[in-house]
Amino acid sequence: MVSKRRIAVPIFFLLVVVLSLLQHYSISFIDLSYVIKKEVLGVSLLTDEKNIPSSRKCGGEDEVPGEKGLMRLPDVALPPFCAVQYTDQLLASRCRDARLELPVRKEGDDDETRLEKARTAFRSMPSRGEGNGMVKYDNRDCDSGLGLWRDNWLSGGFHKHKCVLVTVAERLDLRPKEIVLDWGSGCGFKLSWLAQLYGTSNFGVDIAPAPVAWAQEHSSGQHGCTDASKLSWIPAETFDAVISYGSLMHLPEELQCSVVHEMLRVLRPLGRIYIGWFNNPSIGVSVGTAVDPDFWAGNCLKKDVLAGSVRVSIHNEAHLFAVELDAGMVVGGSTEAYGLFVWKGSGRTS
């Protein structure tokens, strides 16, 4: 008979090896639980919005998908290593209090006019066109709960993407009823979190038709499939904020600059922009264009910066999102990625 000690020793060493691998590849036990839940048990990682307690929702008409079915979103907590540590209850309660202080939107109000302009623009947006887009994203499965992050979800799981979203929302100081555009919105999960926790009015554009079709049914706001490198169909000064994560870097440098100028055009005065996941070597040069951080203030937006019409801020994302650099908050597996924040001044109109 084999002794318990002889069995325990190899099990102990096996555990040591497993723990070392998890640490080496920045895989947390939360990530591991997703692997077991999705890959072993075959359970969806999404939750129906109706099953989330009202104490964890801001509430309001912008939280539910329009013309659609049931809103579905990843219902996860922020990871312990996230630099921002707010519970859903705190964020939702703060949002509800802020809603009470806002005037009711009325026809002719600036906010209501801008919202209607956005809705009209999205109803008549140009089609994507043949041959455009990245084919690999056309086949991603939003309903499984992995969405467009499927290939890299162990190093960029939902809890980490929620950390990105909440950190950015706090830095941009997003408020209830503000109008937000997500450039490269995919399945729309980030906009659903914004609706749940910040009460924003949301719009998403993406070039992949399948994720957009899913988002139109199950995510917050209005979503459209189009070549988003061209935003001329959106009226000027429509949005309060534009966010984009892991999308703009797919374009050549000059086109990236052109899109940022278009983002500024569709922003209202004092609007703000966040664009993230620049220079992440884990994606490979075949699907991305590395852009030096100094390019934005020193080249693309130089005239605007010198004129005082915009303010630019660059942040290493490993520091921006994590309590510590080695804390595990390296979405996409890189410590070299950076995020771009742009604040529009009060006088810029083009």
Q: Which pLDDT does position 265 carry in this prediction?
A: 98
Considering all CA atoms of the chain, what is the largest pairwise distance in Å, rounded to the nearest integer? 84
d(CA 120, CA 125): 9
User: Would you state the torsion angle of the CA atoms of residues 312, 241, 121, 253, taken in this order, to the nearest 10 degrees?
Assistant: 30
pLDDT in tens, 60-82: 655 444 456 678 988 888 888 88
The helix/strand/coil state of 16 is helix
Q: Which pLDDT does position 110 carry in this prediction?
A: 84
Q: What percent of the chain has pLDDT over 90?
A: 52
CA distances from 12 to 6, 9, 26, 104, 202 (A): 10, 5, 21, 62, 50
d(CA 267, CA 271): 5
Strands 338-344 and 310-316: antiparallel
Q: 178, exposed or middle or buried, with CB in 10 Å at 0-12, 13-18, 19+?
A: buried
Average pLDDT, the chain: 82
pLDDT in tens, 108-139: 778 889 999 999 999 999 988 755 555 556 65
Nearest of 340, 189, 169 to residue 264 by alpha carbon: 340
Task: Yes or no: say if 176 and 98 are a contact pair by the CB < 8 Å rule.
Answer: yes
User: What are the structure tokens assigned to 236, written together?
Assistant: 């000027």
Q: How far is CA 333 from the centre of its chain?
A: 17
pLDDT in tens, 213-272: 999 999 999 999 999 999 999 999 999 999 999 899 889 999 999 999 999 999 999 999
Query: In this predicted structure, which of 52-61, 84-93, 279-288 has the lowest mean pLDDT?
Result: 279-288
DSSP string of 292-334, one letter each residue: -THHIIIIITHHHHHHTSEEEEEEEHHHHHBSSTTSS--TTS-
pLDDT in tens, 152-162: 444 446 788 89
Q: Which residue bears the tokens 């005082």?
A: 308
Beta bridge partners of 73: 47
Q: Which pLDDT does position 79 carry in this prediction?
A: 82
Strands 338-344 and 267-278: antiparallel
Q: Which pLDDT does position 289 carry in this prediction?
A: 77
Judged against a pLDDT cut of 50, whether residue 348 lies above it is answered with: no
Q: How far is CA 199 from the centre of its chain?
A: 15
pLDDT in tens, 28-43: 555 556 556 555 555 6
Which domains are assigned to the chain? 4-43 (no CATH), 47-344 (3.40.50.150)
d(CA 158, CA 216): 20
Q: How far is CA 104 from the centre of its chain?
A: 28
Average pLDDT value for residue range 3-22: 61
The helix/strand/coil state of 45 is coil
| pTM as predicted | 0.86
Nearest of 299, 311, 297, 296 to residue 343 by alpha carbon: 311
